[in-house]
A = this chain, B = another copy of it.
Amino acid sequence: MAANPPSLLNATCPVNVSDHERIVLGHGSGGKLTAALIADTFLPAFANPILERMDDQAVVEFGPERLAFTTDSFVVTPIFFPGGDIGSLAVHGTVNDLAMAGARPLYLAAAFILEEGLAREDLRRVVASMGQAARDCGVQVVTGDTKVVNRGQADRIFITTTGVGLVPAGVTVSANRARPGDHILLSGTMGDHGMAILSQREGLEFEAAIASDTAPLYPLVAEMLAAAGREPGGTDAIRCLRDPTRGGLATSLHEIAASSGVAMRVRQQAIPVRETVASACELLGIDPLYVANEGKLVAVVAPEASERVLAAMCAHPLGRGACRIGEVAAAARAQVLLETEIGGTRLLDTLFHEQLPRIC
């Protein structure tokens, strides 16, 4: 393996996961098993330093500019849910992965795997929603592909969206730049997307329906970068950005901790969770910190810039509930520490098995 080894795996994978000789749902969880699958199977086959950075997007030199490049398959079920559908989700998820590199999203590719028998009207709705989401994000779907498989060999519709964007000169946002003393900011409530999907799937009814938070985050990121400004060395005062999707906030914090070799200390009481989401989580025995979000971000920011950035977030419609949830600390090993409501501190581990399959 080349330079820049994925320390993520050393830090978060103490158990032996090579026992699994068949794929299990946990391999798609975004947690330990996914990390092990990537380390065991994908990284050796594709060995290159860009992939080994293990970011959610690749940033590659491209003439005078840098190109950001990211791909995601969407297999969410149901395909229509409160607050969105698989089409808008596929656009938002991909432009958000670009935005987390500080990149301006430009173009999308969309590949469809359709199950024989899918209603044309459902496809039309999904695709219209993708088109609307793309226009809202200022991106264009410029190429695509369609495959149809026999009935029973897929589940209605799977969409793979791939995005390219431009990283403005000088932008240095990356998961490996968190330093002790940095502040950890969160843009809003946790768990809305995953619990919206799960509530609909399980037929749960709450007094107030839970809606997905699916939304494009680049406009918020642009405001944050402008407010933060540069440090004396010329680097961005915003050090890391992540959208806590599959695996939730706990997983995003772990990824930053592992990539930067630091501890992330967060306060449970500071992490906003809607009351309906909290109730649904309690009912189903799920921890909202592991539940997917599709319109939220976590930022690690130099302490001097933290107040300015938080003000910029609160001034933006997608950051209205923004708050500081903790700080980065030095640590002998990468870890995530949660100060609980009763005053204790516990380690937040990464997911091992799949908690919520097919939520994105």
The interface of chain A, by Cβ under 8 A from chain B, is 20-28, 34, 37-38, 41-42, 44-48, 50-51, 55-58, 60, 62-65, 67, 69-75, 106-107, 109-121, 123-124, 127-128, 130-131, 134, 140-150, 152-155, 158, 160, 162, 164, 354, 357-358
Contacts and interface: CB of A to CB of B under 8 A. Distances in A.
A140 B63 contact: no
Ranked nearest first, the 3 interchain pairs of A and B with the lowest CB-CB distance are: A28-B148, A45-B131, A71-B109
Contacts of A28: 114, 146-149
A142 B22 contact: no
Contact of A164 (B69, B117, B130): B69
**Best-surrounded residue of A74, A75, A148 (most CB of chain B within 10 A):** A148
Q: Among the interface residues A21, A38, A75, which one has the most CB atoms of the partner chain B within 10 A? A: A75
Nearest to A57: B143
B47 A131 contact: yes
Contacts of A26: 148
Residue among A57, A64, A141 with max Cβ neighbours from chain B (10 Å): A141
Given A45-B127, A56-B143, 13 more contacts: A21-B119, A22-B117, A23-B148, A25-B116, A37-B146, A48-B142, A50-B142, A63-B64, A69-B143, A70-B143, A72-B111, A149-B155, A154-B158
Given A46-B134, A46-B140, A148-B357, A71 B111 contact: yes
Contacts of A57: 143
Contacts of A44: 131
Given A107-B60, A120-B21, A131-B45, A34 B146 contact: yes
Contacts of A48: 140-142
Contacts of A27: 114, 146, 148
A121 B20 CA distance: 10
A98 to B, nearest CB: 11
Nearest to A28: B148
Contacts of A154: 153-155, 158
